[in-house]
Structure 1
Amino acid sequence: MAIITRLSILLPGTLLGALLVSPAAFADDAGAIRARLEDWTRQFNAGDTAGACELFSRTLVSDVRGQGEAGYDTRCTLIGKALANPERRFHYALDIREILTEGDMAIVRLVWTLTISPGEITSVEPGLDVFRREADGRWRIIRYMAYESD
């Protein structure tokens, strides 16, 4: 009887806790991730290397077709060189296809469209980003893969 009483006391609280956390928390997490990606787009397009690199975790492992795998330092160096190039202008457009969240991890399917000027070279880059909520509470990318469409 004691077990049943204990369960009857714990179960409603557990269910209530799950109901309070479930939909809104996941929506808020997805919204926070969407905002981070939108901020990154603005920062990159404005030439803000430090702001753009802030989206990435220091534990980043990225895989971009033609560039191979790279960590945080290498990826941010490449972004900095591109943005500092006075001969070219790089502009990204973001298309988020799906955000899946589970606790402190999330996966985002997206498509980046990069336009390079002059010459108006356009590259469509489907990708998959893995986010983790880090100790400071901010969502950062810990893994990503991007491959230009054929």
Structure 2
Amino acid sequence: MTRGLIAFLIISSFFMTPAVCANEKRNSTQLFQNIFSSWTNAFNRKDLENSCNLFSPDIHANYQGAPQKNYQSICNSFKKIFQEDRDYKYRFKLHQIYRSDNLASVRVTWYLQISEHGKVISETVDEGLDVFEQDQTGHWKIVNYLAYPKAD
């Protein structure tokens, strides 16, 4: 009887593992979709506190051709553009999410449209890889990102 139970548990674990993995993937996709949506909404409303809140105080941020940024320089950049009369509107598309325990990496495309007096004056598309760490309070923060302009 014990052997039969052990065999059943081993065999059933092979069938349950793909379902568990698929469920975790759906949960991760929804989690990061919500995180990026919240950030995008905050940025588009020029909400400085919630725009900065996504980033870890220890972040290392790299954009192709620009000096490395930290938390303070990222937030200072937001503060500067939020004071402008121009409208900066982001949207995004998630491509891949890899998550293990308290770390995750997310490949994303960012679309930025800048308008002035109701007229679009600039549109850019950037590719990025964001590395997240879940902090002690359970919040996911970007600890590192790499970004570059998408080639035409």
TM class by shorter-chain length? 0.7 to 0.9
Could you tell me which of 62, 72, 87 is aligned with 1:89? 87
State the partner residue of 1:73. Answer: 72
Kept in 1: contact 2:102–2:134 (CA 8 A): yes
Kindly state the Cα deviation for residue 96 of structure 1 after the two structures are TM-superposed.
Answer: 0.8
State the partner residue of 1:105. Answer: 103
Kindly provide the CA deviation profile for residues 72-101 of structure 1, in whole angstroms up to 9, marking residues without a partner as x.
111111011111112x11111111111111
Task: Indicate yes or no: 2:131 matched with 1:133.
Answer: no
Q: C-alpha separation between the residues in 1 aligned to 2:62 and 2:19?
A: 37
Kindly provide the CA deviation profile for residues 13-56 of structure 1, in whole angstroms up to 9, marking residues without a partner as x.
xx9xx899755445333322221111000010011011111111
Structure 2 residues not aligned, in runs of 5+: 1-9
State the partner residue of 2:40. Answer: 41
State the partner residue of 2:59. Answer: 60
In 2 relative to 1, CA 57–21 (structure 1 residues): closer, same or farther, beyond 3 Å? farther
Task: Indicate yes or no: 2:147 matched with 1:149.
Answer: no
Number of corresponding residues: 142
Q: Percent identity?
A: 27
Structure 1 residues not aligned, in runs of 5+: 1-10
Kindly state the Cα deviation for residue 65 of structure 1 after the two structures are TM-superposed.
Answer: 2.5
Supply the AA of the counterpart residue of 2:46.
G
Q: Structure 1 length as normaliser, TM-score?
A: 0.80
Q: C-alpha separation between the residues in 1 aligned to 2:46 and 2:65?
A: 23
Kept in 1: contact 2:60–2:144 (CA 8 A): yes
In 2 relative to 1, CA 19–95 (structure 1 residues): closer, same or farther, beyond 3 Å? closer
Q: C-alpha separation between the residues in 2 aligned to 1:36 and 1:42?
A: 10
Kept in 2: contact 1:112–1:125 (CA 8 A): yes
Q: Structure 2 length as normaliser, TM-score?
A: 0.79
The root-mean-square deviation of aligned C-alpha atoms, in Å, is 2.6
Supply the AA of the counterpart residue of 2:139.
R
Q: C-alpha separation between the residues in 1 aligned to 2:21 and 2:81?
A: 41
